Amino acid sequence: MEDHESGRRFRMLQPSQWDDYFLYAPIDELELDVLASELEAIKPNVREMLMSSSPAELGHDSAKRKLLLIYLMTSLGVAYHFEDEIEKTLAHAFERIDDMIANEHDLYTIAIFFWVFRTYGYNMSADAFKRFKGDDGMFMDSLAKDAKGMLSLYEAAHLRTTRDYIMDEALSFTMEHMESLEGRARPHLSRLIHNALGLSQHWNMEILVAMEYVSFYEQEEDHDETLLKFSKLNFKLLQLIYLKELRTVTKWYKELDFASKLPPYFRDRIVELHFFVISMIMLTKFYTVETITDDTFDRYASISEAESLANSLERWAPDKDTDTQPDYLKFVFKFILDVFKDFEREVGSEGRSYSVKGTIEEFKRLVKSNLDLAKWAQIAHVPSFEDYMEVGEVEITMYATMAGTLMGMGHIATKETYEWLKSRPKLIQSLSINGRLMNDMAGFEDDMSRGYVTTAVNCYMKQYGVTKSEAFKKLHQMRVDNDKIVNEELLKIKDVPKRVLKEAINCARMTHVAYGYGEGLTHPEGKIKDYIISLYIDLIRL
């Protein structure tokens, strides 16, 4: 498309699939209250299932039952109600892990133990899986008959670190058999296997795991009625809360009237942004800032305009140079500052102005990387892979997104937490690298079709003289290696609140969902649309 005013060409993206749908979606406030009351009434019964005996008194059978219950609670999306109880149970159980598994030869049980302990930050040794190998040093073929055990081993393997070589073997072994198991398993288990092959539970968004697992658990013959009812009530309540929040942010977004203030270069994706954030209005607004900023630099602004906007944002105040900017750029600049003023009003009263300051600092670094990448892209420059990744790791927004997430976390995110982020910890760096690689691989064909060549794929191809296929294979392996580093760092880090680490891995999960089936934010009409319908429109039946 050509902008007749400026004469520049740009690609107009598909408009929002939702228009005003969620602005007028009916929400029954009475139902919200009733669901919340029912949930609170059942909660003590579910807690009793977990705490029927004190953690210190756990015998082998009781500990096994509770660990399997924690796995169910996590998969069903209700574990957040019982964080303290789960932590106490796991702390005591981990002290006796060797005794607990000494005579345990059930694959499903060992795999679930491993998944639960690793998920909650306890470094259970992968050596526990040696018992499932034969004299030839290979996993025993007889294991392939156990569909649930194989699925659990497959899921456990995704929590591997750089030294868990046996888990590399476990992943290869399970993947050899999973497709045939999918064809032989009962329908509800077959669906679970199929979806796990698309994206493992560890790297999937928790709400999507819960959405699938509630349906799966209901069809399990040995399901617990109380736990199932609690899970369904919880999920329905969350759906209504999300719907209510989405209506709020949709109203905010519509009132800004981007369509009349900007040329149509931007991604009109407020619904998708809320889906990726899930239940944080502040972060949805911050994602909107990031998206509008990215699209302005990446899809429309001339270099002089990009430099002007970057300079204005570095100063963080209008001046005489701002007056010479085109109207659309003035609007973008004012929009960004206004949103951050709202953030300051919201958290400043809580004595957390440092969080807004820390987020602005990260946002400025993001803007600088936006500008650097735009300069390369507009002259079709393909730098060295290392130079590209140095800029691209920041431009992919992981650091800024983490800063914005911390801003919405209350007093858990201290000044020290922002200093930790500023130090560029290995955890966030690895997440950033993976985000960059996933973005560039998923969007490669779309980028090339619009003449955008400054990507990780092209940089790697040029530097190492390899084909596109070879570059994709190598970049995919880099991603896999970084996943292991992420898992390793989550086990190592002890001086950062677990809630903060949880949000970091949630950012990674969002990235996996966004790019697992293409560029999910730019082109959400496939899998992402299905998720939105399932989460916001087709509400669960109680």
Q: What is the DSSP string of 498-539?
A: HHHHHHHHHHHHHHHHHHBTB-TTTSTTTHHHHHHIIIIISP
SS3 label, residue 97: helix
Tell me the two tokens of residue 450: 């619009």
Question: What is residue 1's predicted lDDT score, i.e. its pLDDT?
Answer: 47
**pLDDT over threshold 60, residue 39:** yes
Start and end residues for every CATH 1.50.10.130 domain found in the chain: 29-233
**pLDDT over threshold 90, residue 6:** no
Q: Which residues contact 221 (CB under 8 A, 6 or more apart)?
A: none
Choices 3.40.47.10, 3.30.70.580, 1.10.3720.10, 1.10.600.10: CATH for 257-536 = 1.10.600.10
Mean residue pLDDT of the chain comes to 94
> Which tens digit of pLDDT belongs to each residue from 319-378?
887 889 999 999 999 999 999 999 999 998 899 999 999 999 999 999 999 999 999 999
**pLDDT over threshold 50, residue 2:** no
**pLDDT over threshold 60, residue 541:** yes
Contact 124, 97 (CB under 8 A): yes
- Chain mean position to CA 145: 33
Lowest mean pLDDT among 82-86, 173-177, 445-449, 490-494: 445-449
> Which tens digit of pLDDT belongs to each residue from 146-183?
999 999 999 999 999 999 999 999 999 999 999 899 98
Q: How many CA atoms lie within 13 A of 129 on its CB side?
A: 31
d(Cα 429, Cα 527) in Å, to the nearest integer?
28
Percent pLDDT > 90 in the chain is: 88
Start and end residues for every CATH 1.10.600.10 domain found in the chain: 257-536
Q: What is the DSSP string of 374-398?
A: HHHHHTT----HHHHHHHHHHHT-H
Distances (CA, A) of 343 to 169, 235, 507: 48, 29, 20
Q: CB burial class (10 A; 0-12, 13-18, 19+) of residue 24? A: exposed
Tell if the pTM clears 0.85, that is, is over it: yes
> Which tens digit of pLDDT belongs to each residue from 425-437?
999 999 999 999 9
End-to-end CA distance of the chain: 48
CATH architecture assignment, domain 29-233: Alpha/alpha barrel (1.50)
Tell me the two tokens of residue 253: 């977004």
**pLDDT over threshold 90, residue 525:** no
Checking phi first, is residue 5 left (phi over 0); if not, alpha (psi -120 to 50) or beta? alpha
CA angle centred on 425, ends 421 and 429, rounded to 5°: 100
More confident residue, 4 or 256: 256
